[in-house]
């Protein structure tokens, strides 16, 4: 009998707010976290909007010594992890502590730390850097600090698969529990790349919008970056039940696939294989799925390819699906995005309300499914998919079930 | 080299062909270029002439910058260069 894996804690911080509940409610209300950004040299960018976390004061959460070790992507992950672990009610001690670990997704890691220190040595001509530049910028920094803060001594590492990093991480952590390596894991993702170099690099690709993220809309003109983290405590079902934990949702299955075709252009077949695999792994039929939280970046190519893939996988059942992209509100958190988007699914499964795709102006015949335009829709959803299709052709889809 | 010749050289390099084989009424598709291939050409043009080309890969048919034919691209770049010189 296969072990079932459930979510018993959630935590988040992003442009939509602090706290998983706050973010989920903002999604349902269709709030938009995208606005002009604020950081050094932003005026030299052609794209200057993003879903930035505003009015954030690291000193309100961490000591000076901690901040010298925590890049913003680590700070966000630690805040979200604290919330998730508090909510789960789990204390990591004894065998549980020895077996439980942290698997996170990130794409940029400590990019802000890199940028700051390159400025110091190249631009300002300084010949000395802070001793903790390396431990602050490394991609596993967030996972390591969560493990240290919460006494998690089991398998811990960081997954890098660009925009699919969080979904790969969550799928991997789920398998750890499913296979019996441990009864609980901490998982999710974090990214904070809203700095001059981070946006300048994306600008070069010419896939960024200057005026907003409008997934599946005929007037869409690109993606908008966001930042933040979402972290979850996942747990073996009987373990969670035995201690009377509040079960938020079940991670019923997952699948990963590689396009093996192009480094940036999306591939319908790769997306289809990941969705089909997730359905198979969760043992659900296409018509059991009521909601798909789409990858939905707002680029021309992604959105039409994703809709074509969904139609191919779901056939006649596609007409009854709700498909929304919450990136229109929280932006594209790149390596952290799948984790934040999982919050939308949990909200849907628990409260029967599907967060919308906001910014929607005009129908695109290539995206003619129910994309939940602008306003949340009430719907009793028993199972849902979360899509993530990354640059590099690496895809990971999660299948969630209401409990 | 004239501006037009320089632009054709940049396109030819990306399309893996000789500049003299490019016809002014060719489309990017005729040359086997997709929008992301064209992004590299735009970068080359911007670097060569120190201009900013308002091209977004998401809006192939509805761009601030006309890329419907090679002629349109050449004309657009010449306009941007003269705007820069008079600007």
Structural contact between residues A216 and A364, judged by C-beta atoms closer than 8 angstroms: yes
Whether pLDDT at A1 is above 60:
no
Rounded Cα distance between B39 and A208, Å, is 13
DSSP-H helix ranges across A126-182: 133-137, 141-150, 165-178
Do A206 and B34 lie within an 8 Å CB cutoff? Answer: no
Size of interface A-B (CB pairs under 8 A): 35
Longest dimension (CA), chain A: 64
Taking only the tens place, the pLDDT of each residue in A95-132 is: 999 999 999 999 999 999 999 999 999 999 999 999 99
Taking only the tens place, the pLDDT of each residue in A174-220 is: 999 999 999 999 999 999 999 999 999 999 999 999 999 999 999 99
Handedness of CA A333, A311, A392, A256 (dihedral sign): positive
Whether pLDDT at B37 is above 90:
no
Whether pLDDT at A333 is above 90:
yes
Structural contact between residues A146 and A77, judged by C-beta atoms closer than 8 angstroms: yes
Q: What local confidence, expressed as pLDDT, does residue B58 receive?
A: 85
Strands A35-36 and A102-105: unpaired
Whether pLDDT at B62 is above 70:
no
> With bands split at pLDDT 50, 70 and 90, how would you rate the model's confidence at B35?
confident
Q: What local confidence, expressed as pLDDT, does residue B61 receive?
A: 64
For residue B71, give Cα distances in angstroms to A19, A98, B8: 54, 67, 10
Distance, C-alpha A345 to centroid of its chain: 12
Burial class (CB in 10 A: 0-12, 13-18, 19+), A93: exposed
Taking only the tens place, the pLDDT of each residue in A351-372 is: 999 999 999 999 999 999 999 9
Which of A204, A222, A264 has its CB closest to that of B58? A222
- Tell me the pTM: 0.95
Q: What local confidence, expressed as pLDDT, does residue A102 receive?
A: 98
Rounded Cα distance between A52 and A225, Å, is 8
> With bands split at pLDDT 50, 70 and 90, how would you rate the model's confidence at A150?
very high
CB < 8 Å to A201, chain B = none
CB < 8 Å to A202, chain B = none
Do A207 and B57 lie within an 8 Å CB cutoff? Answer: yes
Q: What local confidence, expressed as pLDDT, does residue A156 receive?
A: 98
Mean pLDDT to the nearest integer, B1-30: 94
Strands A289-293 and A322-324: parallel
Do A299 and B34 lie within an 8 Å CB cutoff? Answer: no
DSSP state of A179: T
Known catalytic residue at A163: yes
């Amino acid at each position: 009998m296969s072990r079932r894996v459930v979510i018993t804690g959630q935590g988040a911080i992003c442009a939509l707010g602090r706290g998983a509940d706050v973010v989920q409610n903002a999604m349902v209300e269709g709030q938009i976290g995208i606005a002009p950004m604020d950081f050094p040299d932003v005026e030299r960018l052609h794209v200057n909007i993003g879903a930035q976390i505003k009015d954030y004061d690291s000193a309100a959460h961490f000591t000076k010594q901690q901040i010298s070790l925590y890049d913003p992507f680590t700070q966000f992950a630690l805040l979200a992890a604290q919330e998730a672990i508090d909510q789960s009610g789990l204390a990591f001690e004894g065998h549980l502590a020895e077996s439980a670990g942290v698997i996170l997704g990130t794409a940029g890691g400590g990019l802000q730390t890199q940028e700051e220190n390159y400025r110091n040595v190249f631009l300002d001509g300084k010949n000395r850097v802070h001793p903790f530049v390396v431990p602050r910028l490394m991609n596993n920094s967030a996972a390591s600090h969560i493990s240290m803060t919460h006494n998690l001594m089991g398998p811990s590492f960081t997954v890098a698969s660009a925009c699919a990093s969080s979904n790969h991480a969550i799928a991997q952590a789920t398998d750890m529990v499913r296979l019996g390596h441990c009864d609980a894991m901490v998982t999710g993702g974090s990214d904070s790349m809203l700095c001059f170099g981070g946006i300048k690099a994306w600008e070069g690709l010419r896939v960024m919008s200057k005026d907003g993220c409008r997934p599946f809309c005929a007037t869409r003109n690109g993606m908008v970056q966001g930042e933040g983290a979402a972290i979850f405590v996942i747990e073996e079902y009987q373990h969670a039940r035995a201690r009377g934990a509040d079960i938020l949702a079940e991670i019923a299955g997952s699948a990963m696939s590689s396009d093996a075709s192009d480094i940036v252009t999306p591939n319908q077949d790769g997306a289809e294989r990941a969705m089909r695999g997730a359905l198979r792994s969760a043992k659900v039929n296409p018509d059991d799925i009521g909601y798909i939280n789409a990858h939905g970046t707002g680029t021309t190519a992604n959105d039409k390819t994703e809709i074509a893939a969904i139609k191919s996988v779901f056939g006649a059942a596609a007409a009854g699906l709700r498909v929304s992209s919450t990136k229109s509100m929280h932006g594209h958190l790149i390596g952290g995005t799948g984790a934040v988007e999982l919050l939308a699914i949990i909200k849907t499964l628990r409260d029967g309300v599907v967060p919308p795709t906001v910014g929607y102006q005009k129908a695109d015949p290539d995206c003619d499914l129910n994309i939940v335009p602008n306003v949340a829709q009430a719907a009793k959803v028993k199972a849902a998919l979360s899509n993530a299709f990354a640059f590099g052709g690496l895809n990971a889809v999660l299948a969630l079930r209401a409990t | 080299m004239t501006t037009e010749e320089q632009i054709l050289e940049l396109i030819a390099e990306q399309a893996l062909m000789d500049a003299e084989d490019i016809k002014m009424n060719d489309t990017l598709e005729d040359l086997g270029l997709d929008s992301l291939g064209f992004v590299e050409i735009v970068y080359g043009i911007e670097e060569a002439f120190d201009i900013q080309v308002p091209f977004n890969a998401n809006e192939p048919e509805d761009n601030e910058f006309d890329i419907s034919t090679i002629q349109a691209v050449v004309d657009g770049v010449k306009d941007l260069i003269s705007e820069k010189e008079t600007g």
